[in-house]
Structure 1
Amino acid sequence: MRVPAGFPRWRGAVELIGRRAECAVLDQLIGAVRSGESRALVVHGEPGVGKTALVDYAAGRATGFRVVRGSGVQSEMELPYAGLQQLCAPLLDRLDLLPEPQREALRTAFGLSSGPAPDRFLVGLAGLTLLSEAAAQQPVLCLIDDHQWYDRASAQVLTFLARRLGAESLGLIVATRVVGEDLARLPELAVAGLAPADAGDLLDTVFTGPLDASVREQIIAETQGNPLALLELPHGLSATQLAGGFGLPGAVALSGSIEERFGHRIRALPDATRTLLVIAASDPSGDSALLWRAAAVLGIGVDAAEPAAETGLIELGTRVRFRHPLARSAVYRAVSEQHRRQAHRALAEATDPRLDPDRQAWHRAQATVGPDEQAADALARSAERARARGGFAAAAAFLLRAVALTLDPPTRTTRALAAAELHLRAGAFGPVPELLAIAEAAPLDETHRTRADLIGAQLAFATRRGSDGPPLLLKAANRLEHLDADRCRATYLDALAAATFVGRLAVEAGDLRQIALAAGAAPPPTKVRSLDLLLDGTVTALNHGYAAGLPALRTALAGYGAEMAPDDELHWMWFAGTTAIRTWDDRHWDTLSVRHVRLARELGALSELPLALHVRALILLHFGELTEAARMIDEAEEIATATGTALAPYGALGLAALRGDLVGGAQLYEQAVQEVARRGEGAAITFAEWAGALLHNGLGRYRDALAAAQRATRFDAGAVAMLWAYGELIEAAVRTGDPDTAVRGCARLAEATGAAGTDWALGLQRRCQALISDGSRAEQLYRESIDRLGRTRMRVDLARAHLLYGEWLRRERRHNDARDQLRIAHTAFEDLGAAGFAERAARELRVAGGTVRKRVDAIKHGELTAQEAQIARMARDGLSNPEIAARLFLSARTVQYHLKKIFTKLAITSRGQLATVLPDTESAG
């Protein structure tokens, strides 16, 4: 039996006309899942092209599967986790099988229990575990339709799930109109219009009478093979027109959209039936009990259902389903605004305010014509609940509607500013200018005016990271000086952070030193906080010299976050971490970067998490933990893609440099410089140039390294400069015969490292001074460098000290001593995976008369993937499968699957043997 591609889903399609290739792809996926694999597929194409029919086909082919379905609904896009709840609802009987943190996160996300906003990654892991548990009993097929209308929280979790499918018998098919960044890198199936011959076959299934050939050709041409258009456009054409009529094919009226054709059919229905359809279209939850309660409010009985079902537009069973999203849209648009408000009013009355207060508030708001303070108050309360349950996006949506319903000017202004702040924090910047305009339309007192200025400044920096951000923040801080001392100081710190990001691209009014001069006159705090010490220390260092600011900065780092709310702690965590870097405080950089990642996860701050992961990855690169750093970089890129967060590839640049990846490093450099120059993120240009200098020094391309290091140090911003580039500059200058540049670089570096006085700082300083020294003085400096760096975890810097010392010894013709140092350096670089420096050490070792012995390591030689290597190390260190799964956001079944592959690759049979075949590295924390 062959049926049209647009046939209703409840009629059990067997074969779709013109979709043999697409069906074969779905059959392959289902076969793979049936055999124990996990697969994901994104089906995409224009509205009406037959995506839903293909999803239905997959459901019909999945015999012996547990099939769970979900569908995005446009009106629920602002309700957090609405889509995920719809998908997981049939599996909630297994909720007790989840670990308690996952179980509580999912219960809170679904509104089944109260609590703080759950970590979205924990919600994602809970969803993965829930599906994995179900798949342990029988294969599971998850079908998602209309993903483009999924709420943001559900969409992010779905992306998380799709990219972590492993060894479960679990399939995921997502149908959407356009593949956005969140679904990028997943397997795709593009669905286009039918070929002319297949389109003709489909038309033949609709018409039982004669169809004029020219009319037939016109229909096929104008629909461009779109199955739903082919089925719907001919409705309403007369028999005369279809038969050729007046012999003029051009006279046939085929203009108008598919939705308009739906509208004609809907308007022909009885009033009661049309009202019933409007109620169903107004509440896309699919709750049939709610539908009939709302219908009873309007006096509509069950006899109205039969004409509705006969249209073929809707299925009224245990769930309410429209045949196609355009049918729902057409129903909603086919009636007057008054009828839509009537439907929402009935739904609000039929919704239990105790069980679902937010949906009731939403329907009540949609039923309101003009200002309604009670409805606005209910939405404001919903905003608070949504913020606690799912973050800022849903709360912002509720408040946005509340603003429209609020009449009292002061309250309207307050709500508009609050909504603007929430949209800003949620990363949904579009409505912010309009909300600011609403607030500014009323007379503003000084507090509200300053708050509006601050939101505008934060918006400018968040959206562009350009040179206009710091001056606007500086202006807001100036206005706050006489209103709120603590907020004024916090805004000055924001301005300094923004100017640090902008770096060399700052305009004069937003230059770091201009901001520091202004911040130097800031009012004293009412109570000294960590951020006040950060502000005072940075301002003092910029205005009075690096050493002068160190005491306050060290005190700030030692107690950072102790007295702060988690939101505030996270807000300035990046600046605290970079302060640790600038003060050469590797211990606090380590602890703060761990805390940064953890806090971003706990608060569900997905826009902040990529930055936190990059900062953590950078210190892991210094530690020589390249595998763990690479995992964090991959995770950061995945989250940034899913959330649309714009961030330069800091970690990836550093990783490519240490790995000696000349081609990849060059590509990253070009990409990064172009992107950040357009955004105005000047600090990333400096970082990319440092990474280029590091890469070329590792490969022994010293002239290229010198050029990159000179560009990186050209815009030295004093106390906030990234001084690592001076280490590369000095080494490259010495190797290219430019001692004057090396001496000047050493003097600049010593200003900071000498004042900082940490082992990391002084170890690097001694290494650089040794490069410009001779005889016993040089040897003494190399030995002191090795001694000091050996007290730290900075294994890359330590290995480089051994390498430079060995190269110096070889040039002094002390070949035996040189071989010892070069062998230490080569072994270290090989173990770390720093291929460029390892090859440089190998060359020097050969020249010194040594033999290069390459260590066989299954991880370094690619026998294990990065993820397998991470799982193997965790298993070696004694973590159980569930513990590994929780850390890597996988299911325990997937971990077990990978361990079997690891054992095979390493030729071992038990976890206990991992310690004998894997190198013992320090935990990354």
Structure 2
Amino acid sequence: MLSDVRGGESRVLVLRGEAGVGKSALLEHLVARAAGCRVATATGVQSEMELAFAAVHQLCLPMLELLDTLPEPQQDALGTAFGLRSGHAPDQFLISLAVLNLLAAAAEERPLVCVVDDAQWLDRASAQVLMFVARRLMAERVACVFSVRESGPEHALPGLPVLEVGGLGDADARALVRRVVPGPMDEEVRARIVTEACGNPLALLELPREDAASGLFAAEGTGQSLSGRLEGGFRRRLADVSADTRTMLLLAAAEPTGDPVLLWRAAGVLGVEAAAADEAEELIDFSERVRFRHPLVRSAVYNATAPRERREAHRALAEGTDAETDPDRRAWHRAQGTAHLDEDVAAELERSAGRALARGGLVAAAAFLERAVGLTPDARSRADRALEAARAKHMAGAAEPALALLASAEAGPPDELRHAKADVLRAEIALTSNRGSSVPAMLLKVAKQLETLDVALSRDTYLQALTTAIGVLPDWEGIAEVAEAALAAPPVSGQPRATDLVLDALVLLYARDSEAAGPALRKALSVILGEETGPGERLRWAWLANFFAMALWDSELCHDVAEDYLRLVRGSGAFALLPLLLSITTMQRLFEGDLADAATLNEEAKAQALAADVWTTSGAMVQTGGDLGLAAWRGDAETTEDLAEAIVKESLVRGEGRTLDVCRWVRSVLYNGLGHYGKALEAVLPVMDERAPGGSGVHWAPMELIEAAVRTGRDDVAAHALERFALSARRGGTDWGLGLEARCRALLSEGEEADRLHREAIERLGRTRMRPDLARAHLLYGEWLRRERRRTEAREQLRTAFELFTGIGMRAFAARAERELLATGETVRKRSAETTGELTPQEEQVARLARTGLTNKEIAARLYVSPRTVEYHLGKVFTKLGVTSRHQLVGLP
């Protein structure tokens, strides 16, 4: 591994084995062999698992002089996470990218070896960051080596290369025992020690120190683990040391940073003499950083001490911790040192929770608030804090603890508003726990209760119920029922908020005349996108802004919304929204016929989704939805069917009707392109629903159904769908919607009326960005003209369609146009192969982004890799394509 890193590559390895098997010794050996490399170390500590980014801060501390070399958003994110700067709560992925680039910068001068011991005790935020980094290392000259206890969480560092560290063989085990006990030893005792130790080196070193009468061997057969027996042995050795030494060891066990200055300061508070350190040298190393000879010693010391003594140690550490430079660790020690209710400590923990949230530490904030609840003397304040703690736990992904805290909140003094807020949170937890279909009804009930308590919150909750219903309910009738119930929302008093306008527009769309909803949709959009709406508020409406623009069939607005929101998310660092926005923009590019850009955005969406481990309600579509759309647009039947089947399976598990409808619609696009109209009709027919706005479960489904129905002789089905779709098209009154209506109506018309409608469709769609829809209008007109025996005119339309489809890359539709052209007697020019077919998906992605003029750093930020990895891929691209600079990529297909 070291050889590879010195040669310019990056490597990752997880050492996994039981406590005492030698993982730490192997890490020390690695560090000793790392001559010519820069070494950074960190150690996971059990008592620090609630402190956000504690381990990452340990690892990065020696490199922070390079912080200013990072892009400014990354500087701010990492500086805020480490408490070095003030600012908005940074996004987890921006922090992760900053750490990746910080390590890459540190490795520029010489290779970097990062060593993380006891990774099973990493705080959650650090574990997520380091997993992100480890998955993206490629050409940075960085080695990341972790050690994880076999008894640690099964999910610790999943998916990384693992080296299982086993015990010594029998002969080596006996040799080690002889080295520890060089004198005579009863062979039966030696055999018993070797058997008990199971090859564990620490056990082989420690067991001979104990006499069999000590009870160590008596534990055999009790089910106690080897590490538990070793811990017991360390505890017994504590009985032989002085009280001051035990106190010194306890302070070190309770203080995870290993700061000797803080340790001696706390020792002074408790009156411990300096001589205590000498007696403890066998168990602990007092050097630049205080560390135990083995992690089991730390847990043995801490667990062997009475609760009262532990509290005294934490109080001393709190007193020794600087309240200005490290207020959160001080608050945590104060909390651990308090046995009784204490509002002062609870308030300090609450302030620490606020600081943790500001640094992006949701898990830490939840832990601070949960402890604050237990220390709050006033019942009403305790219930209020329990509700906030429950919300923080939910945001941190801990559903069960959140529900337990909710129960505590509801057990407090009666408070209708608090109970209503608790019910809203319970519904939100249900939504993330695969109980989504029950959530709209839960929210409607709460919204009704809130009408007399908080009108604004009531309307917010009605909106939440309706948007949730749109996302999770399997049938449009259920959505319409929620919309009807939302009509009961209390009226707005004063200036309406964006929430009020959005609610009114959605209610009109789903519960009243969808055509009349047009002005309300535009009014809501004007406020959502207006200058008066701040970036944070605008981000809240990302999905609905796109939905409203689509509902209005406004191609320019759809394009602008997708572009503006993507730019806003990237600029603000709100990367949690990035998978959604990238998916929306990918679909927009498909509608516009830019498949190359759609593929690039789709790869970025998948990279982001993988970084976030997204596979949730919308995760299936985020991870593979773009692949599905691209496959259907390209006419790849096998890939489309395979992807659709995988997404449908995931959606059925979660009860997501909308995702099923999207898959059905995409399949109908594929089969209309292939000319398999019966299959297209079969796919899209279940999507249509009388209760859906405009008559469709998916906005674009009617066009596919109308074409497929006409081609299969089902004009009655097509005519009914057309009248429903016309309401939707007229709602927006745009060239896109009215052009599509004309195109569909032409299919059901004859003679001069059909000719006029085909021409109107081409004229209107020609004024939009939607090249595939324009190409399909030319194709349908050409097909009609050929059937009318107007071959010369048909060739012109079909040739235009063929060239458009070929340029876009819609191979199935291009082949359909080619067949029609051949039927007119036209000779079709064969298409050339794409040069980029030689590239891997990663290389193609980098090449496309480089072709747009982005720098290596900008590409790295898009793809969540380091600039060196981009440089590595770009070098491969140049070699394969026979070019020498990124400027030469512009002319390639």
Query: Which residue, 41, 52, 61 being the options, matches 2:13?
Result: 41
Residues of 2 paired with 1:100 and 1:342: CA distance?
44
SS of structure 1 residue aligned to 2:275: helix
SS of structure 2 residue aligned to 1:559: helix
Residues of 1 paired with 2:795 and 2:170: CA distance?
75
1:764 equivalent in alignment to 2:740: yes
1:687 equivalent in alignment to 2:634: no
Shift of residue 359, structure 1, vs aligned partner: 0.7
Contact kept? 2:219, 2:229, Cα under 8 Å:
no
SS of structure 2 residue aligned to 1:69: strand
Shift of residue 71, structure 1, vs aligned partner: 2.5
Query: Which residue, 608, 615, 632 being the options, matches 1:657?
Result: 632
Query: Which residue, 486, 490, 494 being the options, matches 2:460?
Result: 490
User: Deviation per CA, 1:327-382, whole angstroms, max 9, x where unpaired?
Assistant: 43332212121222122111101100010011101110111112111101111111
SS of structure 2 residue aligned to 1:733: helix
1:450 equivalent in alignment to 2:420: yes
**CA root-mean-square deviation:** 3.4
Residues of 1 paired with 2:39 and 2:213: CA distance?
43
Write the mapping of 1:382-461 to structure 2, written as runs, cut at 5 A.
Answer: 382-461=352-431
Contact kept? 1:131, 1:140, Cα under 8 Å:
yes
Instruction: Specify whether residues 316 and 825 from structure 1 end up closer, same or farther in structure 2 by C-alpha distance, changes over 3 A only.
Output: farther
Shift of residue 651, structure 1, vs aligned partner: 3.1
Shift of residue 172, structure 1, vs aligned partner: 2.1
What amino acid sits opposite 1:236 in the alignment? E
SS of structure 2 residue aligned to 1:743: helix
What amino acid sits opposite 1:857 in the alignment? E
Residues of 2 paired with 1:653 and 1:527: CA distance?
43
SS of structure 1 residue aligned to 2:850: helix
Write the mapping of 1:882-897 to structure 2, written as runs, cut at 5 A.
Answer: 882-897=857-872
SS of structure 2 residue aligned to 1:163: helix
Worse overlay, 276-285 or 263-272: 263-272
Contact kept? 1:531, 1:572, Cα under 8 Å:
no
What amino acid sits opposite 2:370 in the alignment? L
Partner residue in 2 for 1:238: 212
Instruction: Specify whether residues 230 and 869 from structure 1 end up closer, same or farther in structure 2 by C-alpha distance, changes over 3 A only.
Output: same
Query: Which residue, 543, 547, 565 being the options, matches 1:578?
Result: 547
Partner residue in 2 for 1:5: none
Unaligned runs of 5+ in 1: 1-28, 920-925
TM-score by length of 1: 0.87
Residues of 2 paired with 1:196 and 1:782: CA distance?
86
Residues of 2 paired with 1:241 and 1:642: CA distance?
50
Shift of residue 49, structure 1, vs aligned partner: 5.0
Residues of 2 paired with 1:487 and 1:81: CA distance?
34
1:138 equivalent in alignment to 2:114: no
Partner residue in 2 for 1:910: 885
Partner residue in 1 for 2:514: 546
Contact kept? 2:562, 2:584, Cα under 8 Å:
yes
Shift of residue 145, structure 1, vs aligned partner: 2.9
Partner residue in 1 for 2:766: 790
Partner residue in 1 for 2:722: 746
Worse overlay, 880-889 or 287-296: 880-889
Residues of 2 paired with 1:353 and 1:240: CA distance?
45
Shift of residue 566, structure 1, vs aligned partner: 4.7
Contact kept? 1:424, 1:432, Cα under 8 Å:
yes
Shift of residue 714, structure 1, vs aligned partner: 4.6
1:853 equivalent in alignment to 2:830: yes
Residues of 1 paired with 2:806 and 2:83: CA distance?
51
SS of structure 1 residue aligned to 2:713: coil
Instruction: Specify whether residues 338 and 524 from structure 1 end up closer, same or farther in structure 2 by C-alpha distance, changes over 3 A only.
Output: same
Residues of 1 paired with 2:831 and 2:191: CA distance?
70
Partner residue in 1 for 2:481: 513
Query: Which residue, 305, 313, 321 being the options, matches 1:335?
Result: 305
User: Deviation per CA, 1:802-835, whole angstroms, max 9, x where unpaired?
Assistant: 4434444444455555455445444444444444
Partner residue in 1 for 2:471: 501
Write the mapping of 1:301-320 to structure 2, written as runs, cut at 5 A.
Answer: 301-311=273-283, 314-320=284-290
Contact kept? 1:66, 1:138, Cα under 8 Å:
yes
Partner residue in 2 for 1:378: 348
What amino acid sits opposite 1:340 in the alignment? R
Instruction: Specify whether residues 176 and 256 from structure 1 end up closer, same or farther in structure 2 by C-alpha distance, changes over 3 A only.
Output: closer
Residues of 1 paired with 2:809 and 2:148: CA distance?
41
Unaligned runs of 5+ in 2: none
User: Deviation per CA, 1:688-726, whole angstroms, max 9, x where unpaired?
Assistant: 222232233334443332222112225853268422122
What amino acid sits opposite 2:876 in the alignment? K
Shift of residue 91, structure 1, vs aligned partner: 0.8
SS of structure 2 residue aligned to 1:916: coil
Residues of 2 paired with 1:695 and 1:182: CA distance?
42
Contact kept? 2:684, 2:701, Cα under 8 Å:
yes
Query: Which residue, 31, 42, 45 being the options, matches 1:70?
Result: 42
User: Deviation per CA, 1:867-918, whole angstroms, max 9, x where unpaired?
Assistant: 433433443343333343344444333333333222222212223323232x
Partner residue in 2 for 1:125: 97
1:277 equivalent in alignment to 2:249: yes
Residues of 1 paired with 2:678 and 2:201: CA distance?
62
Worse overlay, 842-851 or 794-803: 842-851
Residues of 2 paired with 1:741 and 1:355: CA distance?
72
Query: Which residue, 752, 756, 768 being the options, matches 1:780?
Result: 756
Residues of 1 paired with 2:219 and 2:77: CA distance?
60
Shift of residue 70, structure 1, vs aligned partner: 1.8
What amino acid sits opposite 1:481 in the alignment? E
1:365 equivalent in alignment to 2:335: yes
Q: How many residues align?
A: 879
Residues of 2 paired with 1:205 and 1:682: CA distance?
69
Instruction: Specify whether residues 828 and 336 from structure 1 end up closer, same or farther in structure 2 by C-alpha distance, changes over 3 A only.
Output: farther
Write the mapping of 1:827-846 to structure 2, written as runs, cut at 5 A.
Answer: 827-846=803-822
Contact kept? 2:479, 2:510, Cα under 8 Å:
no
SS of structure 2 residue aligned to 1:113: coil
Query: Which residue, 415, 419, 444 being the options, matches 1:474?
Result: 444
What amino acid sits opposite 2:69 in the alignment? L
Contact kept? 1:557, 1:588, Cα under 8 Å:
no
Instruction: Specify whether residues 621 and 640 from structure 1 end up closer, same or farther in structure 2 by C-alpha distance, changes over 3 A only.
Output: farther
Shift of residue 115, structure 1, vs aligned partner: 1.8
Residues of 2 paired with 1:602 and 1:149: CA distance?
34
Worse overlay, 803-812 or 545-554: 803-812
SS of structure 1 residue aligned to 2:374: helix
Instruction: Specify whether residues 731 and 265 from structure 1 end up closer, same or farther in structure 2 by C-alpha distance, changes over 3 A only.
Output: same
Instruction: Specify whether residues 561 and 438 from structure 1 end up closer, same or farther in structure 2 by C-alpha distance, changes over 3 A only.
Output: farther
Residues of 2 paired with 1:360 and 1:821: CA distance?
76
Query: Which residue, 95, 106, 114 being the options, matches 2:67?
Result: 95
Residues of 2 paired with 1:817 and 1:58: CA distance?
76
TM-score by length of 2: 0.90
Instruction: Specify whether residues 661 and 709 from structure 1 end up closer, same or farther in structure 2 by C-alpha distance, changes over 3 A only.
Output: same
What amino acid sits opposite 2:740 in the alignment? L
User: Deviation per CA, 1:105-138, whole angstroms, max 9, x where unpaired?
Assistant: 2222211122222233332333223222221110
Instruction: Specify whether residues 45 and 257 from structure 1 end up closer, same or farther in structure 2 by C-alpha distance, changes over 3 A only.
Output: closer
Shift of residue 838, structure 1, vs aligned partner: 4.3
User: Deviation per CA, 1:540-577, whole angstroms, max 9, x where unpaired?
Assistant: 22232101221111111122054455554433432332
Shift of residue 34, structure 1, vs aligned partner: 0.8
Shift of residue 594, structure 1, vs aligned partner: 4.0
Contact kept? 1:806, 1:822, Cα under 8 Å:
yes
Shift of residue 214, structure 1, vs aligned partner: 7.8
Instruction: Specify whether residues 173 and 739 from structure 1 end up closer, same or farther in structure 2 by C-alpha distance, changes over 3 A only.
Output: farther
What amino acid sits opposite 1:459 in the alignment? I
Query: Which residue, 287, 294, 301 being the options, matches 2:259?
Result: 287
What amino acid sits opposite 2:320 in the alignment? A
Partner residue in 2 for 1:614: 583
Partner residue in 2 for 1:17: none
Query: Which residue, 851, 854, 867 being the options, matches 1:876?
Result: 851
Contact kept? 2:444, 2:485, Cα under 8 Å:
no
Identity %, equivalent residues: 48
Contact kept? 1:486, 1:525, Cα under 8 Å:
no
SS of structure 1 residue aligned to 2:619: coil
Shift of residue 782, structure 1, vs aligned partner: 3.2
